[in-house]
């Protein structure tokens, strides 16, 4: 798990984990994830999970025992209060990297079920395009909807993201950061509140 975390926590802090479905050094979705960490709302700490060393799902590998990177991923998600996924859109769907992490997370752990079972999950997508990657977000809503009854149905799309980051690939557009922060606040309320869905974005 990455050392990139948000503010100090208290006993009442919600501990969220997040991963970006892109390995690219200048990933816009990692920029959005790190902006989420930096702008975590009151009562929330966000920790990035690095999934770059998670292998593609293989039943033979699983039968031999989960690799250490997969164990770290599953343990981090299970121990968290909720999961944030930031995905690019590739060819009308989410990235293979994001889907692969979800495939591993869908699997049973030592007879205790999937780490995603009953887990609050939220989905965001940052894209250079002008539509906010609606197909990628809808794809993951469809996939994860089979795994948890606590899926946050209000997804976040960040469009034309190349106009909203600086030379260090930091998300700096004030309106976009405000939208991100508001979305995180609503997810915080979803995590800490009764199990009920929000309207889809």
pLDDT at 176 over 70: yes
Helix 96-105 and helix 68-79, axial crossing angle in degrees, nearest 10: 70
Tell the residue number behind the tokens 């004030």, with chain if given. Answer: 174
Quick one: residue 138, left, alpha or beta (phi over 0 = left, psi -120 to 50 = alpha)? alpha
CATH number of the domain at 60, please: 3.40.50.360
Residue 25 pLDDT grade (very low, low, confident, very high; cuts 50, 70, 90): confident
State the average pLDDT over residues 165-192: 96
pLDDT at 7 over 60: no
* Beta bridge mates, 42: none
Q: What is the pLDDT of residue 1?
A: 55
Residue 197 pLDDT grade (very low, low, confident, very high; cuts 50, 70, 90): very low
Q: Is residue 3 in some structural domain?
A: no
Domain, as residue range, for 119:
14-192
pLDDT in tens, 71-128: 999 999 999 999 999 999 998 899 999 999 999 999 988 888 999 999 999 999 999 8
Q: Is residue 2 in some structural domain?
A: no
Residue 7's H or E segment, with its range, is none
Cβ(171)–Cβ(35) under 8 Å? yes
Q: Is residue 33 in some structural domain?
A: yes
Alpha helices by DSSP H, 65-173: 68-79, 96-105, 134-144
Percentage of residues of the chain with pLDDT beyond 70: 91
Cβ(27)–Cβ(78) under 8 Å? no
Strands 120-126 and 93-94: unpaired
Q: Is residue 1 in some structural domain?
A: no
Q: Is residue 198 in some structural domain?
A: no
Number of domains forming the structure of the chain: 1
Q: Is residue 6 in some structural domain?
A: no
State the average pLDDT over residues 166-180: 95
Residue 49 pLDDT grade (very low, low, confident, very high; cuts 50, 70, 90): very high
Q: What is the pLDDT of residue 61?
A: 96
Q: Is residue 90 in some structural domain?
A: yes
Q: Is residue 60 in some structural domain?
A: yes
């Amino acid at each position: 798990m990455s050392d990139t975390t948000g503010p100090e926590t208290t006993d009442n802090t919600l501990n969220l984990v997040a991963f970006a479905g892109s390995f690219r050094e200048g990933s816009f979705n990692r920029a959005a994830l790190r902006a989420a960490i930096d702008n975590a709302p009151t009562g929330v700490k966000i920790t990035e999970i690095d999934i770059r060393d998670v292998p593609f799902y293989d039943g033979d590998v699983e039968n031999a025992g989960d690799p250490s990177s997969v164990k770290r991923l599953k343990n981090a998600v299970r121990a968290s209060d909720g999961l944030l996924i930031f995905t690019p859109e590739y060819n009308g769907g989410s990235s293979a990297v994001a889907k692969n992490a979800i495939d591993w997370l869908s699997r049973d752990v030592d007879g205790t079920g999937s780490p995603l079972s009953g887990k609050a999950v939220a989905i965001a997508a940052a894209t250079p395009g002008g539509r906010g990657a609606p197909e990628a977000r809808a794809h993951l809503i469809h996939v994860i909807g089979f795994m948890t009854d606590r899926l946050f149905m209000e997804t976040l799309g960040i469009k034309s993201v190349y106009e909203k980051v600086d030379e260090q690939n930091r998300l700096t557009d004030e309106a976009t950061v405000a939208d991100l922060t508001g979305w995180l606040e609503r997810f915080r309320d979803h995590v800490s509140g009764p199990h009920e869905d929000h309207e889809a974005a």
